[in-house]
Structures are given as structure tokens and as C-alpha cells.
Structure 1
Amino acid sequence: MNRLSAWTPEQRLTLYFMMMYGSIGLTGPFFSPWLHHLGVSAQMTGLIVALPSAAMVVAAVYLGSISDRLSDWRVAIIAFDWVILVLFCWIVFRHDVIDIIVVWTLTGLLIAVKIPILDGATLSLTRKRGSQYSRIRALGSVGFVIALLTGGFVFNVAGLDWFVPALVVGALVRAICSSMLPRFREPSSDTTMQISEKLAAPADNLGAPAGNLAMSTNSLTAPSLQGGLKHKGFIMVIAGSALISGSHAFFSAFAMLHWIESGISTLVSSLLWCFAVVMEIALMWCFTDVAKRLSSRHCMLAAGAMGIVRWSLSTTDQPVPVLFLLQGLHALTFGLLFIATVTFIARRVDDSMAARAQSLFATFSTAALAIAVLISGTLYKYAGVQGYWLMTGMCVFGIVLIMASYTTRLDDDFPM
């Protein structure tokens, strides 16, 4: 405990991010193969995978608002993780289809709700301490890659009968690490109130101090603390980003399957997937340098433009070297988009609404993803990779919405 007390809040957060995303990487990509191993049909597998997203659309903002009312966000995160562990233990003893549906829906909902709460809490803490959220998040992706490769090796050697033990072990480690999280806020602190006022200042540049930007935008209309979540321009930006984020649906659902069906080995297909995450990590690690040149909305527009390039080129079969290049664009289409969006939100709300605001974006993006996944199944069956044209269209509409936000007098971009 003495050693733990010597850890900085950033070090504790980094440990938790790595364990959280590591536990997801260890089992998440292998969930569908495990269901196939149990003899579950493809149609039922699709339903089971979609249910957590549907549940999140209904409950995420509500649960996020409850978390905002707690004395500290870590209370919600710890509670969610221990409940998830208990639910996973259920599958150790019973894994009929109905048991899997109930457990996967509830745990998927809690994980999906917890992530934006954690993002909002971490952004709040790093802003107060002058540290970098993007690097903590990048190391979370490192944990995902390491666990993904470890899981692939274990299941290849020992078989998918070890999926449930891996699920429980990952959840246990994550729950233990959640108890080590730092406090994110002190409700009665005058300092916190002062910082909240600074966070509320309009600031579209990701790397600039909020106070300086507030001085530069006095003549502009920006969302207030209480009205920010309903500001027309704010909603346009969040919806546009959600469409670009949702454009990954066809890729997430069918890219691996298509590569293997095209004759690419499972090993190379796994390396293609990992390469995308590695590029995402590199972008997040260097994000501060990017933020000095581009505002948050500029970053989102760049991500959307690269999405158009990535998905339009994916509508035809490409040689493996080109696929690696296209996978490299994941750093922009997902990594840059995600960091820009959560930072855009954090600059416009105070601590009292942080989890709710991040949950709003998570709800929008999950809804876009869920709808796109449902459509993608039919598209892949009848049109193959031509289904990527729908993803291209989502990026186009996302860009249009973000650009339209400039007409609402939501504060302009001020690169640092």
C-alpha cells in the first residue's frame, strides 16, 4: 500500500487503462468464435453482439447522469467492475444461450457506459494537473494489443474452452485495479470550482489553455454550462462525429472475415488488425503536437476526409501491402476522431455534467454503429465489400454536419 501511495494519479490511471482495455482485448475479439465453438448460429450471434449496443442507447446518458451526482466518479467505475465480475462468474456455471444473452447484454452495457464516465473523469483530472489524457489512453491501447496477441496464442494452443476462465481472470484483474484509481474530484473544494469555471470557457483548440481562448472569443456565442448539451452547434458536432465513428461498422463486423475468405492467412489478418491499433497508439501519443496546429473540429473534419479515402479504396480487393496502408489510416479515422471529440466535449462542460456529456457522444456513436451493423449484414451478404460505400456516405454526412456547426456561432477554431 505504501508503494501504491507513492504512485501519481496518472500512473494509477495508466495501470487501470491498460488492464481495462487489456481485459477487452483478451476476450472481446474471440467472443464470436467462442459462440461458434458452442454451436450458436450466426443469426443468434449477431443478435447477442447487438444487444449491448441497443441497451446502451437507452440507458447510457441516464447512468452517466447518476454517476455525475456521486461524490466521485471512481465510485461508479469500481461498482460497475465488481458487478461485471459477478456476472461473468455466472457463465462459469451456466452458459446456455439464454444465460449468455443476459450476461453479455448486462456486462456489455456496464462496460459501454463506464468507458465515457472514465474518459470524462480522466480528462477532468489531467486538465487540472496539466498532464496528457491522450498518452494515458494510448497506453490503454497498448494493453489491448498485448492482450489480443496473448489471447490469440493461448486460444490457438489450448482451445476456446479457456475463453470463460480468461473472461473471469480479466474481469478480476480489472476490478482490483479499479480500487487503485485516484480520486477525481473534491466536491467541496474551492479550487475545483475555479477549475470548473475555466473548463466551461469556450475553447475549440485542443492544446490551448481555456482561459486564453475565452479572452479571444468574447464576441462569440458558446454553450453555457447548463445549456451546452442542448446547443444546436454542439449537437451537430457530436452527431457528425458519431456518424464518422459509426462508419467503422462494416469494417469491424466483416473485415477479418473477408480477408480470410480472400485467402489471407489468419496470422496476417490478425497482424493487419493489430497494425491499425498500433497506428492509433502512435497518433494518441503525439496528439499534443497535432493539437498545436489544428482545432478539435478541424481534427474531426480531417478524420472524416480520411474515412472517405479509406472506405472508398476498401470497396475493391487490395493487395496486402495496400491493406496495411489503409489500416494505417485507422490512426486518423478513429484515433484522431475519438481524442478530438472527447476533448471538444470536455472543454464545454464542467465536472457536474462531464460523465453525462461523454455518455451523450457514446450514445450517438453507438446508435450509429448499431444501425450500420444491422444494415452491413445484409450488404455484405448481397454486395460484399461494395458495402463500404455506405460507410463512405456516413463520413460525407458527418463532415457536412460538423461544417454546418460553424453557422450556429459555436465558438470558432483558434489553433494555438
Structure 2
Amino acid sequence: MSSIAPAPPEPKALRLSVLYAVVFVEIGIAMPFMPVWLNALGLDAAVIGALLALPIAIRIVATAPLVGLIDRGVAAQRILLTGSLVLAATYALMPAGAAIGWPLLALLIAVNAVAAAPLVPSIDYMTLSAVRRSARLSYARIRMAGSIGFLLANLAGGAALGAMGEQLAIPLLLTLLALIAATVALVARVEVPAAPRDPEAPRPRLPAVLWLSIGAAALIQSSHAAIYAFGSIHWSTHGIPPSWIGTLWAIGVASEILLFAGIGRLPPSWRGPFALLALGGGAALLRALGMAWFGERLGALIALQVLHGLTFGATQLGAMAAVSRFAPDGARGRAQGTVSSAGALASASATLLTGVAYQAGGGPLAFALMAPLAFAGLCLVARAARAAHAFGLHTTTFVGQQARRRD
């Protein structure tokens, strides 16, 4: 008598949301406040710059190979657990390393960056797998928990610094948050079916349409470089009060959260990979030009920051939609990591360009130079759409209850 293998358990959206939240809370502390901690140590500006650039360089080279381990049979949840434990250990050791000397601190930061590189792409991999298996799940709504965690961490981190002091609060908070993330990764138990693998078969290649989509997303996301690096500086030098600067950043994250919450209500034709990437690229082009022309006017800045929901959020959803649609089985982990590596490379290059431009012509020039990046991303979106059409690839709805593709 033949027996039918039991179906894998229904994916749990709450568990995936909690994974995003705990990892992004940690990122929401580390991203804005690690430079504050390094400065509190009394390090030279050149050393601080090098230490902050180190994780970006490591992310470029390490993310794709590490997330690609999933295609070789390493569970995404194990990568999350191991990475979070290494993060906790390195954060805990950083004060002692800094006391001994900055070279040891640099080594700890490098190990920390390697551990952090695959965390978010691994959760993305797990979430996309769950969305493909369950028509009831929405990637956008699950991913929204990360944005909410990031925003709350930004707010709570500032309060913690004021109460505990910079040198104590930052490494202590980051160590505890990494331990919490490791605990959640251990107990969450999100089932991810293994992709069918033939050990003797050659490694699947990523199709050209996916490479074009990844390149488009990387270019569009890199157009944020000028705002990320010099937005606050430019606003403060033009008389925008500090309280409003914080509010402007919060508006950007809030608009991203609103997009994730409401994207499922948009017409289906707007929710495919190319439509989402085009929305992100068009908004990024408009935002770059608006910042160049009106980047010191508070009223205009509020409207421009609302566009962040599209420039970041729609672009992120479009990239994930492209991976879900076009990455072949046995290469989904590598595709997920490639999205992060390509984004890091493009953003790092754009940040260097931004620094030169800001020194030469101030904010208007730096912001204006982000427009060609967004436009180039739109061009790649158009090429990807043509390539998909030529090969008859399915490009319809990704977000919401219309997922039908199965692992």
C-alpha cells in the first residue's frame, strides 16, 4: 500500500514577524548609535570612518556566499541562530577590545559584520518560502514588523543613551538584543522545506531577467545614499530644527510601514515585480530632483519623505517579488544573498560619490546626482520586463493572497 507523505505544516506569520522584529530592533540601535559609541571612545575621525566602512565592505563580499549555504542544505534558521550568537559575543567583547586597541576592535567588528550579513536575507528566504506555500500569507505584512521594530528602536535607543550613557548603553543593549534574537531563532521553529537538489547536477544559474531586476533594485536603493549620508547635515545647516529632523526620518519609516500594511489593497497589476520596481524607481527619481531643488524647505521635505514608502518599500517588495518569481530551485539562497550584496556594493559606491559631490557643490549637487542612479534603475526595469515578456515568464501579483507558486 502506498502512503502519502504528510504536507508540511502551515507557515506561521507571527513567528516570521517576530524574527523580523527582533533583528531589526538590533539594527535600529546599531545603525544610528554605533558611530556615537565609537566617538565616545575618543577615536580619531579617520579610524571611526574606517571602522564604519569595514562592515559595508564585508557585507558586499560575504552575504551571497553565506546565504548561499541554504542551497547546500544548511537550514536558514541555523544561520540565524549562529549569526545571532556570534553577534552577541562580539558586541560583549567590543568594550574590552577597544580598551586594548583599535586593531582588536576592528577584528571584532569584522567578525560581527560577517555574522550579521546573512541574517535579514535568511529571514527573507524563509518568508518567501512561506508565502509561496500559503496563499493566506503576505510578505509585505510580515516584513512590516521589521520596519516597526526599527522605528521603535530608534526612539528607545535615544532614551537609553540619555539614561545609561553612551559607552555603557550601546554595547549592553546590542548584546542583549542579539541574545534575544538567538533565543527567538531557536524556539520559532519555522518549517522551510528543503529545495530539491541533485548533488551531481550543475549549480543552477540565475536567469538574466533576475540579474536585471537585482541590478535595478540595487541602483534604485543606492539613490538613497545622499539622504542617508548628508540629509540631516544639509537640513540642520539650513535651519531645520533638530526636533523636525528626527520627525522627518520618522515620517520616512512610517510611510514605509503604511505601504507594507496597505499594498494588498492596490490593483493586482500594481503588485508584480516590475510594477513595484518601477514605482520605486519613479519615486526615487522624483525625490532626488525634489531634494536638489527644495531640500531646505520644511513643507517640501515632509512630502519628499513620504515618498520613502515607495523609494525603499516598493523597491524592496519588487526585489523580493523578482526573487520569488525567477530564482530557480537550488539557487534561491544565492539569489537572496545576491540582492543584499549588490545593494551594498551600489550603495557604498554611491556614498563615496555623494561625499565628493557634497564637498564640491553642497547638498543640491549631491542630491541631484542620485537622479541618474534612479533613472538607470528604471531603464533596467524596462529591460527586465521585456526579457520576461520575450520568454513568457509569469510576472503577476506577488503581495497578498494571490501567491500560487509552490515549493
- Whether these two folds match at TM > 0.5 is yes
Establish whether residue 369 from structure 1 lines up as the match of residue 347 from structure 2. Answer: yes
Establish whether residue 170 from structure 1 lines up as the match of residue 177 from structure 2. Answer: yes
C-alpha distance 179-227 of structure 1, shift in aligned 2 (>3 A) = closer
User: Residue in 2 aligned with 1:211?
Assistant: none
Aligned-residue CA RMSD (Å): 2.4
C-alpha distance 323-291 of structure 1, shift in aligned 2 (>3 A) = same
User: Residue in 1 aligned with 2:78?
Assistant: 75
User: Residue in 2 aligned with 1:252?
Assistant: 228
Between 1:118-127 and 1:261-270, the stretch displaced more is 261-270
Kindly report which structure 2 residues correspond to 1:57-72, keeping only aligned pairs within 5 A, or say none: 57-72=60-75
Establish whether residue 97 from structure 1 lines up as the match of residue 102 from structure 2. Answer: yes
Establish whether residue 322 from structure 1 lines up as the match of residue 327 from structure 2. Answer: no
Equivalent pair of 1:12/1:181 in contact (CA under 8 Å): yes
Between 1:369-378 and 1:155-164, the stretch displaced more is 155-164
Which string of whole-angstrom CA distances, capped at 9 and with x for unpartnered residues, describes residues 154-201 of structure 1? 2134331222212212212111111122233244xxxx76xx9xxxxx
How far does residue 226 in structure 1 lie from its aligned partner after superposition?
6.4
Establish whether residue 266 from structure 1 lines up as the match of residue 246 from structure 2. Answer: no
C-alpha distance 349-406 of structure 1, shift in aligned 2 (>3 A) = closer
Match of 1:51, as an amino acid?
Answer: L
Q: Any unmatched runs of 5+ in structure 1?
A: 1-6, 197-224
Task: Please list every run of at least 4 consecutive aligned residues from structure 1 whose deviation after the TM superposition is greater than 3 angstroms.
Answer: 225-228, 412-416
Q: Any unmatched runs of 5+ in structure 2?
A: 1-9, 403-407
Aligned with residue 48 of structure 1, among 48, 51, 54 = 51
Equivalent pair of 2:62/2:117 in contact (CA under 8 Å): no
Aligned with residue 111 of structure 1, among 110, 116, 131 = 116
User: Residue in 2 aligned with 1:219?
Assistant: none
SS at the partner of 2:66? helix
How far does residue 342 in structure 1 lie from its aligned partner after superposition?
0.8
SS at the partner of 2:269? coil
How far does residue 357 in structure 1 lie from its aligned partner after superposition?
0.7
Which string of whole-angstrom CA distances, capped at 9 and with x for unpartnered residues, describes residues 316-362 of structure 1? 43322221111100000000110111121112235532221111111
How many angstroms apart in 2 are the aligned matches of 1:9 and 1:299? 25
User: Residue in 2 aligned with 1:301?
Assistant: 278
How far does residue 303 in structure 1 lie from its aligned partner after superposition?
1.0
Aligned with residue 154 of structure 2, among 141, 148, 152 = 148
How far does residue 12 in structure 1 lie from its aligned partner after superposition?
1.5
How far does residue 39 in structure 1 lie from its aligned partner after superposition?
2.2
Equivalent pair of 1:91/1:103 in contact (CA under 8 Å): yes
Establish whether residue 338 from structure 1 lines up as the match of residue 280 from structure 2. Answer: no
SS at the partner of 1:185? coil
How far does residue 379 in structure 1 lie from its aligned partner after superposition?
1.6
Aligned with residue 137 of structure 1, among 139, 143, 146 = 143
C-alpha distance 262-156 of structure 1, shift in aligned 2 (>3 A) = farther
How many angstroms apart in 1 are the aligned matches of 2:49 and 2:120? 23
Match of 1:315, as an amino acid?
Answer: A
Aligned with residue 396 of structure 1, among 375, 385, 400 = 375
Identity percentage over the alignment?
25
C-alpha distance 91-178 of structure 1, shift in aligned 2 (>3 A) = same
C-alpha distance 273-390 of structure 1, shift in aligned 2 (>3 A) = same
How many angstroms apart in 2 are the aligned matches of 1:73 and 1:373? 31
User: Residue in 1 aligned with 2:130?
Assistant: 125
How many angstroms apart in 1 are the aligned matches of 2:396 and 2:182? 41
How far does residue 64 in structure 1 lie from its aligned partner after superposition?
1.7
SS at the partner of 2:292? coil
User: Residue in 1 aligned with 2:88?
Assistant: 85
Aligned residues: 376
How far does residue 257 in structure 1 lie from its aligned partner after superposition?
2.2
TM value normalised by structure 2:
0.86
How far does residue 308 in structure 1 lie from its aligned partner after superposition?
0.8
Match of 1:148, as an amino acid?
Answer: N
Establish whether residue 289 from structure 1 lines up as the match of residue 255 from structure 2. Answer: no
How many angstroms apart in 1 are the aligned matches of 2:74 and 2:35? 38
Establish whether residue 160 from structure 1 lines up as the match of residue 174 from structure 2. Answer: no
Which string of whole-angstrom CA distances, capped at 9 and with x for unpartnered residues, describes residues 179-225 of structure 1? 122233244xxxx76xx9xxxxxxxxxxxxxxxxxxxxxxxxxxxx9
User: Residue in 1 aligned with 2:22?
Assistant: 19
TM value normalised by structure 1:
0.84
SS at the partner of 1:263? coil
How far does residue 46 in structure 1 lie from its aligned partner after superposition?
2.4
SS at the partner of 1:183? coil
